[in-house]
Chains A and B, each alone.
Chain A
Amino acid sequence: MTDTTSIPTAPVVYSDTPEEREFELRAAVGSYWTGGRLFIAMFTFLIASEAFAYFYLRSSNNGQLWRPHNQTAPTGTGWAIYFVVLASALIAIFGQTRLRKGNVLDWEVAGWTAVFGGLVAIGLQIWQLTQLPFFPGSSGYASCFIGWAVMNIMMLVGGVYWLETVLARSLRLRSQGTEDGPDQLAMTPSGQIFRANLSACTYFWGFIAAGSTLFWVLFYLI
């Protein structure tokens, strides 16, 4: 059996070297990058399940009840939701490009606008559910629409929450100016982590817009 006397006991304090701190920072930044993409992959499989249900029920058309009388969810509201989501995502992406060019205020304005847009889209989506011209169980289309509406609300709530927390963090960072500029742009650890988080969040908004486009086509155009 191994002699264990040379194995140290637990340190009573936590210490690190500058290199270790750099390693930890790089790992944290990388985690946001990897985590953001993996998060999108998870949601991809979630909405892929909805798309599978859509096409499965559409092709099965059991009892000719896929979409009787060509029933459609309220089109005006649906288009409004879609364009608000699309606009919010584009504004969020635009804001990030402005931040990269050094304009923190532009990003903050764009970000809060996107948050507001997301909240409007959530409100519209909930309101649309109260205005449906069909019973939820009246057809395959109706069921899939309800399923999508719930998923859309979940994704939008997630996206709005994420962006809002990044913006709130940005407001707290505002007062912490460093030698190389505002912390959102600086090479400080908090600045690097902030930007990695924002990048992942913006990708997620792009993903929400892509998903909305897909289901906008499925539910309103074809």
Chain B
Amino acid sequence: MTISAERETEVTYPDPTPPSTGWFQALPARPGWLSQHLGTAVIGAVLGYLLGHWLGNVVASGYTNVANSGVNAVANTGGILLGALGWMLGIGALNYPLAKIIGREPAPEFENTSWTKYFRYTADHKVVGLQYVIGVLLFLFTGGLLAMAIRTELLTPTSHVFGPDAYIAIVSEHGTIMMMMATSVIVGPLGNWLVPLMIGARRTAFPRIEAFSFWVFSAGYLVILSALPYGGFPTGWTGYAPLQTQASGGMISYLAGFALIGMGMMAAGFNLAVTIVNYRAPGMTWSRLPIFVWSILATCALLTLATPTLFAAGLFGILDHTAQTAFYVTEHGGSSYLWQNLFWFFGHPEVYIMALPGFGIVAEILPVFTRKPLFAYKVAAAGMIGVALLSFFVWQHHLFQSGINPDMRPLFMLTTELISIPTGFIFLVGMGTLYKAKIRFEVPMLFALAVFFNFLIGGVTGVFLSDVPVNVTVHGGFFVLSHFHYTIMGGLIFAFFGGLYFWLPKMTGKTMNKKLGQIHFWVMFVFFNLTFFPMFLIGLLGQPRRVFEYQQNLQALNDFSSVSAFILGASFLVFIANFVWSVFLKPTPSPANPWDSLGLEWQTANPVPYYNFERIPVVLNDPYHYSEADATSVADLGDPVLVGVAAPAAADGPPDTEIVQHEDPSA
């Protein structure tokens, strides 16, 4: 289908005004304090929590397992679940679902130009994307503060800041918050903001489901955080039974928080997958799809298919605590290994839920700063699909130590090692793109290069860990801990910051300070490695995870790691300072396309219109034909605007620009 700009037949709507169909639906969009916003969500959550807790006490306070125990899991669960429901009601997430019961259609969308839109339930994917940016950064910094607490405790082997219970509660909270944040750190902010623009769409397929994903994600954050006042949970982020079934208080927060965030992940993945399949602009064939979108599509497949298992596992855990079932209680016909199987059936694909979008960002950044086409584009896409598929067949390597049939070990060792092959594809694509390139070392590119360095270390140690003898030797120690920090933080978080520095000028219209960005990168890169590389040695020397005491002879390495961690933590303050300074305090308007990227998202107006593109673009080429003078333009945007930049190979030379003018169909 070809879309042309038929000016004489176009239908123009007046500047949309707040909808008038149904006061209930229109509430979130109305200005003023009496409408629905973050404040009403908080009020709803508090009231819901109190009601749920009271109901739980009414129902279960007479149960034999509750009476005189000091713990009422039913009341805790009721409080948390009704609190989350109140949060969603308060923000307005349930207005339309309730209005549908009497057959109402969605209220018309309209553009809210007030800054208050960032505190409301909105159908604008760009606002949701920015809400996610702030949300995941809040997650990240909360988890980071807990990490600082852990490293403070580990400064000395025997003198303690925290008691053992407090220490394991902090470790568990840190791990859970970080892992939950990491599942959404790219899909949420950058996926929601960028994917429609990258595929030439004016909207996402189900914008209310998209908004729902953010607000339920934020409810999950509060629920997981609520574990601390409940006394925490002792299981680490993996929540293993039988500790899980023995724990009280914060364990419910862990299970319910995981289930809520799982719902958010499913909703986000569902919406983006459907959007990519159906809303690609004319000409945006699968072979022209930006590689970042491929990575998001592969991730969405994992989010929608693996996460229901996590939800089920959490549901069973909550039932064990509330209805007194015995899913994970071996003595009553259940099995603690059941949790491990269900958890890791989600948990290992989760690793790739985190890694794949990071690969996508890096593959998107490399061609821009090398001014070269992406090397072996189809191999990169195939690698991402291959990783996604194989990730469903590796989960039992997490059970090598804990009850798996020994005859099954070689099979899962093989599948785990196999996954390094499609991962290697993606690495080779990166190396091929970098080969003989004149690299522009801008801040996003620095982060992208660091991903290769860090993930190589994380990946190679992962191959070792997939091998049963090595796994048996180093299991449960700091070696494993260092490995997954190299993959998740060294890969994903570096890619996330690279993506932020790359796309924030488009998202906010403001230029980030380059000098501060470089300081942020170098401090983060150097001290990330100084923090986590010693942990390989610490692990090989025998220090176990989640234990607050260790051998005297490991103190020097631990201290080195701790001091490095403090500086690593400080590097994030540089980012915050840069963000606040560049966006709020002394904003410098960004050029429309500061990196001379060919990506479709850079070709639309700045600031991006509410409906993204004035005309739905017709895509003519993939966005990686850098330095190809005879390359076709990327897209026909329907207006005489800049649609393609075939930049020269020289790093700083002026790019060639091409102007495409629509033919007048009446001529």
Contacts and interface: CB of A to CB of B under 8 A. Distances in A.
Interface of A: 1-4, 6-24, 27-28, 30-31, 34-35, 38-39, 41-43, 45-46, 48-50, 52-53, 56-57, 60-63, 65-66, 68, 135-144, 146-147, 150-151, 161, 164-165, 168-172, 190
Contact of B657 (A3, A63, A165, A171): A3
Contact of B206 (A4, A22, A31, A140): A31
Interface stretch (B69-77, B325-333, B493-501, B515-523): B325-333
27 contacts: A1-B596, A7-B593, A7-B642, A8-B639, A15-B614, A16-B11, A17-B10, A19-B1, A31-B274, A38-B270, A38-B274, A42-B266, A42-B270, A43-B308, A45-B308, A52-B342, A53-B312, A63-B332, A68-B333, A136-B323, A136-B325, A143-B319, A143-B333, A146-B325, A165-B100, A168-B101, A169-B105
Interface stretch (B221-229, B550-558, B565-573, B603-611): B603-611
Given A34-B277, A39-B270, A14 B335 contact: no
A34 B2 CA distance: 23
B125 to A, nearest CB: 14
Given A17-B9, A56-B338, A24 B329 contact: no
Interface in B188-246: 201-202, 205-206
Contacts of B313: 49
Given A35-B205, A63-B330, A136-B325, A10 B100 contact: no
Interface in B314-351: 315-316, 319-320, 323-327, 329-335, 337-338, 341-342, 345
B15 interface: yes
Nearest to A154: B315
Given A137-B325, A143-B319, A11 B642 contact: no
A21 B14 CA distance: 16
Contact of A62 (B270, B304, B311, B334): B334
B617 to A, nearest CB: 11
Nearest to A37: B274
A140 B605 contact: no
B279 interface: yes
Contact of A147 (B97, B319, B335, B606): B319
Interface of B: 1-6, 9-16, 97, 100-105, 201-202, 205-206, 266, 270, 273-275, 277-279, 282, 304-306, 308-309, 311-313, 315-316, 319-320, 323-327, 329-335, 337-338, 341-342, 345, 591-594, 596, 603, 605-611, 614-616, 639-642, 645, 655, 657, 659
A34 B304 contact: no
A41 B277 CA distance: 16
Contacts, number: 241
Contacts of B596: 1-2
A2 B645 CA distance: 8
- 6 residue pairs, one from A and one from B, having the closest CB atoms: A65-B333, A168-B103, A49-B312, A140-B333, A143-B325, A137-B326
A70 to B, nearest CB: 14
A165 B611 contact: no
Nearest to A174: B103
B641 A8 contact: yes
A137 B326 CA distance: 5
A139 B316 contact: no
Contacts of B327: 53, 57, 143-144, 147
B14 A13 contact: yes
Contact of A27 (B2, B279, B332, B642): B279
A34 B611 CA distance: 23
A8 B614 contact: yes
Contacts of A56: 335, 337-338, 341
A142 to B, nearest CB: 7
B304 A41 contact: yes
A13 B319 CA distance: 52
Given A16-B11, A50-B312, A169-B103, A147 B592 contact: no
B590 to A, nearest CB: 9
Contacts of A150: 315, 319
B13 A15 contact: yes
